[in-house]
């Protein structure tokens, strides 16, 4: 049994293979100690303790293995359900590493098993790590999270669903019904920001105004992020202009 195996679902994330092995090891030590003490009261007590620890270890181990079986079964069912979805679907562990990607995601995105979901989505949106972290926190707390993001290519609808203690299923639906189209006139530069002024997305006008994709508002306002209505210096390509 792999001592680095994940915690068993249904036990509050508290029991894993390492705890079971430690319990069985103590049972073995008590059994060995009982043979050294002899058949007296102390030896009988140690033998009874060894039997109790062994029984507890076997029982907890059975629950642990059953939990892993149910988690694996649930994962296989969900993977099968997501496999032919036309949206980009992933399963990632608790630190964001991809363990499953459906055909649509593998075809359209730089997807490899073991890499992070943030890396796979880097071409879809600016600074995806901030958004994914926020959604992951809500998913752990409530079991799921949804976000709608506007990008230069259109709209993204992200949905996260908890799959137990250590994995999250992600579904990213991309619609291209709202990108900037030629002939409709110029659009105002627009950015979507998250915590600590991180830029989550920029429309095409904003990218053209700044000259490239900015990661933070400080990349746009080099002298400091302005307050509402305040005139500030903004980067405009290789130059700077006054903006409000």
Q: Tens digit of pLDDT for each residue in 127-156?
A: 788 889 989 999 988 888 988 887 767 788
Measured distance CA(79)–CA(113) in Å, rounded: 14
The single residue listed with the structure tokens 């006008």 is: 205
pLDDT at 160: 92
b/e per residue 6-43 (b: at least 16 CB within 10 A): bbbbeeeeebbbebbeebbeebeebbeebeeeeeeeee
Query: 20: which 2 tokens?
Result: 């079971």
pLDDT at 181: 45
Measured distance CA(194)–CA(216) in Å, rounded: 9
Measured distance CA(53)–CA(66) in Å, rounded: 20
Q: Whats the size of the chain, residue-wise?
A: 244
Which regions of the chain are under pLDDT 70?
A: 1-16, 66-79, 81, 152, 176-187, 228-229, 237-244
Measured distance CA(99)–CA(95) in Å, rounded: 11
pLDDT at 122: 86
Helices (H), the chain: 17-37, 41-83, 103-108, 117-120, 128-142, 204-210, 217-220
Q: Which residue, among 113, 92, 89, has the nearest Cα to 102 in the 3D structure?
A: 89
Helix (H, G, I), strand (E, B) or coil at 228: coil
Q: Which residue, among 177, 114, 116, 124, has the nearest Cα to 147 in the 3D structure?
A: 124
Sheet holding 98-101: strands in order across?
A: 98-101, 88-93, 167-175, 154-162, 144-151
Q: How far is CA 131 from CA 12, 125, 197, in A?
A: 27, 10, 12
Helix (H, G, I), strand (E, B) or coil at 94: coil
Q: Which residue, among 142, 158, 174, 9, has the nearest Cα to 90 in the 3D structure?
A: 158
Q: How far is CA 186 from CA 30, 52, 102, 172, 182, in A?
A: 79, 76, 37, 28, 9
Q: Which residue, among 181, 184, 138, 188, has the nearest Cα to 158 in the 3D structure?
A: 138
pTM of the model: 0.50
């Amino acid at each position: 049994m792999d001592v680095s195996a994940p915690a068993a679902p249904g036990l509050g994330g508290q029991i894993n293979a390492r705890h079971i092995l430690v319990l069985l090891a103590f049972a073995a030590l008590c059994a060995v100690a009982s043979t050294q003490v002899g058949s007296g009261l102390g030896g009988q007590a140690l033998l009874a303790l060894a039997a109790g620890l062994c029984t507890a270890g076997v029982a907890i181990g059975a629950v642990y293995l059953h939990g892993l079986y149910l988690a694996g079964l649930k994962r296989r069912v969900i993977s099968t359900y997501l496999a032919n979805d036309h949206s980009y679907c992933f399963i990632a562990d608790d630190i964001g590493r991809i363990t499953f990607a459906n055909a649509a995601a593998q075809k359209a995105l730089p997807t490899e098993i073991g890499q992070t979901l943030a890396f796979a989505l880097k071409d879809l949106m600016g600074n995806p790590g901030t958004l994914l972290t926020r959604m992951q926190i809500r998913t752990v707390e409530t079991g799921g999270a949804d976000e709608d993001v506007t990008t230069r290519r259109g709209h993204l609808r992200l949905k996260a669903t908890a799959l137990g203690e250590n994995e999250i299923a992600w579904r990213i639906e991309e619609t291209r019904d709202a990108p900037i189209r030629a002939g409709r006139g110029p659009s105002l530069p627009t950015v979507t920001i998250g915590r600590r002024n991180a830029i989550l997305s920029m429309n095409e006008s904003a990218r053209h105004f700044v000259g490239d994709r900015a990661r933070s508002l400080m990349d746009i306002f080099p002298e400091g992020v302005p307050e509402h209505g305040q005139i500030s210096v903004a980067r405009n390509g290789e130059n700077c202009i006054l903006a409000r």
